């Protein structure tokens, strides 16, 4: 197949599909209409999965595709745009998953001359896939097999040249831990077990380099837009990320009873100050770092007791600290580093371990050493998960599958939705977020919903979900769909006062299209529904849009003494409203034609 003759600005108009069984590849044209309808990143990746993934495929079988998807803004000087999405059917949820990561891989990958690189098949032996602007190569990865991703990346660059940029898996991906990550330069496409999909293909890394550049219809206009956005990125909307990073959520969330603790048995953690960004910044902060093409610099590097330096985010610390009741910062930082080395998603790891700790506490699981509050046990079980030994082999399957083995009512407190473990937002005290977690296509996820924004902004009563919360959750989900497809970093979202119009202007400037905010709203809806369409064909039902029983039958108390409850009938009513507002039927199914309605470029 040949490439599209004249792709829109910012695009090459084609994807490269590589069969890693033999290194053969095909070029898949991406018509302008498809690009305008799904943009790039998570949106285009969803379209690719609907096109390329065999129906009801096992995510770990050779035919299941793994897509690395770029976007029209990648390669422009627009701040935070050097990002890529990895999209596949998730071995954790058996539904669609997409995860974003950033930096030079996005640039080098796009400069191979493609808007997406898709891997299919299974290599016979451990392999590194090399893609540049001249073609595809498969090389032996036995030297890198077993290495942490960061070491593997360095090894590949040493062997093949510094211009290569690699996205790699760690040992957990090789062993198909169902929440293994793919990482590049220390940043993980973390959620949903994409690393296991890559490991199942016997691929240690995808390495890319290229010198192709996309055409832009008005390069000076793009430069002007980039200059403006860069200036705004230094303002108060990003101060939190620049000055302390996402870990500053921890103490604030503790103050408002939204910090999940002891597997969501509590919403506050008495020892939270020990793990706070405010404390760690004073005692352990050593540096700040940025992704390529980013002016925010949200990464705050801390040193552990042994001098090891690591990036620390709120979600790592919440999942490995309060969720497991571990308060020693050295142990939590070490656990976070261990997850990085193994290549596992910290949220799913922490959630699954916290669930196991509660099982032990209740006498349901024979691993008496695995206790809440025991940091040494946390480190041990992480190693067992990464190596699939001992109880770790069970926990490597994620909490949902583990409940099917343990049974005895343990599903009621397994902290997942659709099989994906829950992020660090207590749904009973954040009920816009509760809806977002329940209905999101990816499962319990904060980045594709973003409804916590509404809960934390004030206005509606955050512990009493209403139709207002439903509208807020839809709005944030729509915004996320566009940001994840353009792609722009969500930490930039506060600088946009009229986001859809402003994003439409950026997209128009880069592509030459005449896009407005209304069209982008429709695009957002299309992307959200396309994800749902994929899930529907994979066996999703309305019952999957739900929260674990714990949240529906056990109240939590706020500092004021007020009780936060989320009765099942309230959640059901919110979901009904969500379906109605989204134009879904009563069972949450998209109308057949809706997700395919595409604009004419």
Category of 266 on φ-ψ map: left (φ > 0), alpha (ψ -120 to 50) or beta: beta
* Token pair of 166 as six digits: 């690699």
The closest of 288, 316, 323, 322 to 302, measured between CA atoms, is 288
Contact predicate 222/77, CB 8 Å: yes
In sequence order, the β-bridge partners of residue 128 are 139, 205
CB of 219 to another protein, least distance (A): 32
- Nearer to another protein by Cβ, of 202 and 246: the residue is 246
- Nearer to another protein by Cβ, of 220 and 560: the residue is 560
* Token pair of 13 as six digits: 């108009």
Non-local (6+) Cβ contacts of 76 within 8 A are 10, 216, 222, 226, 510
Q: What's the CA gap between 91 and 175, in Å, rounded? A: 13
- Nearer to another protein by Cβ, of 75 and 499: the residue is 499
CB of 257 to another protein, least distance (A): 6
CB of 236 to another protein, least distance (A): 5
CB neighbours of residue 485 within 10 Å: 29
CB of 253 to another protein, least distance (A): 8
Q: What's the CA gap between 128 and 226, in Å, rounded? A: 35
- Nearer to another protein by Cβ, of 313 and 334: the residue is 313
DSSP-derived secondary structure letter, 208: E
- Nearer to another protein by Cβ, of 362 and 562: the residue is 562
- Nearer to another protein by Cβ, of 132 and 313: the residue is 313
SS percent in the chain: helix, strand, coil, step 5: 45, 15, 40
List of residues contacting another protein (CB under 8 A): 236-241, 243-249, 251-252, 255-257, 277-278, 281, 298, 313-315, 446, 450, 452-453, 455-459, 461-462, 464-467, 490-491, 494, 558-562, 567, 569-570, 573-574, 577
Contact predicate 474/453, CB 8 Å: no
Non-local (6+) Cβ contacts of 472 within 8 A are 432, 451, 453, 454, 460
Q: What's the CA gap between 101 and 368, in Å, rounded? A: 37
CB neighbours of residue 103 within 10 Å: 21
Q: What's the CA gap between 288 and 538, in Å, rounded? A: 42
CB of 172 to another protein, least distance (A): 23
CB of 249 to another protein, least distance (A): 6
- Longest CA–CA separation in the chain, Å: 66
CB of 580 to another protein, least distance (A): 12
- Nearer to another protein by Cβ, of 414 and 433: the residue is 433
- Nearer to another protein by Cβ, of 4 and 573: the residue is 573
- Nearer to another protein by Cβ, of 265 and 466: the residue is 466
CB of 243 to another protein, least distance (A): 4
Phi, psi of 421 (to 5 degrees): -70, 155
CB of 332 to another protein, least distance (A): 16
Torsion sign over Cα 87, 92, 94, 96 = negative
Phi, psi of 551 (to 5 degrees): -75, -20
Any idea what the Cα angle at residue 319 is, between residues 573 and 434, rounded to 5°?
Answer: 10
- Nearer to another protein by Cβ, of 135 and 231: the residue is 231
- Nearer to another protein by Cβ, of 38 and 503: the residue is 503
Contact predicate 504/515, CB 8 Å: yes
- Nearer to another protein by Cβ, of 307 and 561: the residue is 561
* Token pair of 63 as six digits: 């035919």
Phi, psi of 581 (to 5 degrees): -65, -30
CB of 25 to another protein, least distance (A): 37
CB of 152 to another protein, least distance (A): 26
- Run of H or E residues at 171: helix 171-174
CB of 324 to another protein, least distance (A): 19
CB of 256 to another protein, least distance (A): 5
CB of 426 to another protein, least distance (A): 12
- Nearer to another protein by Cβ, of 273 and 539: the residue is 273
Torsion sign over Cα 234, 237, 240, 241 = negative
Non-local (6+) Cβ contacts of 105 within 8 A are 84, 165, 166, 167, 184, 185, 208
- Nearer to another protein by Cβ, of 543 and 569: the residue is 569
């Amino acid at each position: 197949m040949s490439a599209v003759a004249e792709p829109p600005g910012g695009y090459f108009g084609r994807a490269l599909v590589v069969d890693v069984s033999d290194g053969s590849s095909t070029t898949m044209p991406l018509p302008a209409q498809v690009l305008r309808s799904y943009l790039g990143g998570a949106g285009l990746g969803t379209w690719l999965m609907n096109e390329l993934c065999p129906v009801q495929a096992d995510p770990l079988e050779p035919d299941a595709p793994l897509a690395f998807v770029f976007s029209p803004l990648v390669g422009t000087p627009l701040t935070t745009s050097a990002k890529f999405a990895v999209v596949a059917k998730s071995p954790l949820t058996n539904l669609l998953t997409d995860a974003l990561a950033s930096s030079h891989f996005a640039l080098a990958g796009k400069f191979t001359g493609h808007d997406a690189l898709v891997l299919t098949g299974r290599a016979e032996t451990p392999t590194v896939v090399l893609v540049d602007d001249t073609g595809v190569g498969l090389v032996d990865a036995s030297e890198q097999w077993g290495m942490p991703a960061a070491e593997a990346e360095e090894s590949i660059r040493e062997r093949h040249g510094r211009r290569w940029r690699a996205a790699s898996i760690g040992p957990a991906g090789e062993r198909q831990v169902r929440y293994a990550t793919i990482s590049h330069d220390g940043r993980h496409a973390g959620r949903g077990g994409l690393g296991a999909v890559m490991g199942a293909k016997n691929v240690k890394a995808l390495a890319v380099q290229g010198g192709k550049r996309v055409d832009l219809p008005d390069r000076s206009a793009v430069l002007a837009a980039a200059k403006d956005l860069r200036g705004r990125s230094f303002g108060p909307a990003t101060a939190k990320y620049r000055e302390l990073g996402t870990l500053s959520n921890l103490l604030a969330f503790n103050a408002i009873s939204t910090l999940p603790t002891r597997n969501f048995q509590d919403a506050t953690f008495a020892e939270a100050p020990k793990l706070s960004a405010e404390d760690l910044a004073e005692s352990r902060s050593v540096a700040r770092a940025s992704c390529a093409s980013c002016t925010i610099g949200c990464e705050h590097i801390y040193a552990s007791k042994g001098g090891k330096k690591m990036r620390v985010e709120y979600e790592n610390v919440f999942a490995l600290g309060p969720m497991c009741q571990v308060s020693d910062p050295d142990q939590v930082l070490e656990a976070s580093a261990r997850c990085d080395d193994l290549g596992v998603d910290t949220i799913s790891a922490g959630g699954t371990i916290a669930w196991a700790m509660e099982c032990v506490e209740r006498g349901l699981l024979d691993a008496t050493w695995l206790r809440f509050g025991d940091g040494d046990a946390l480190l041990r079980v992480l190693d067992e998960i990464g190596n699939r030994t001992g109880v770790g082999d069970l926990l490597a399957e994620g909490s949902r599958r583990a409940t099917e083995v343990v049974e005895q009512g343990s599903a009621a407190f397994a902290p997942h939705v659709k099989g994906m473990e829950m992020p660090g937002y207590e749904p009973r005290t954040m009920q816009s977020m509760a809806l977002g977690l329940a209905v999101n296509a990816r499962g319990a996820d904060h980045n594709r919903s973003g409804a916590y924004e509404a809960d934390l902004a004030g206005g509606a009563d955050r512990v009493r979900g209403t139709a207002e919360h439903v509208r807020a959750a839809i709005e944030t989900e729509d915004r996320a769909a566009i940001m994840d497809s353009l792609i722009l970093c969500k930490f930039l979202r506060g600088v946009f006062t009229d986001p859809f119009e402003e994003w439409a202007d950026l997209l128009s400037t880069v592509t030459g299209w005449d896009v407005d905010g209304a069209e982008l709203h429709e695009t957002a809806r299309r992307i959200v529904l396309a994800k749902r369409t994929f899930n529907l064909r994979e066996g999703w039902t309305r019952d999957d849009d739900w929260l674990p029983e714990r949240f529906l039958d056990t109240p939590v108390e706020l500092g004021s003494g007020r009780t936060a409850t989320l009765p099942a009938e309230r959640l059901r009513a919110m979901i009904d409203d969500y379906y109605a507002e989204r134009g879904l039927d009563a069972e949450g199914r998209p109308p057949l034609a809706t997700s395919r309605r595409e604009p004419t470029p």
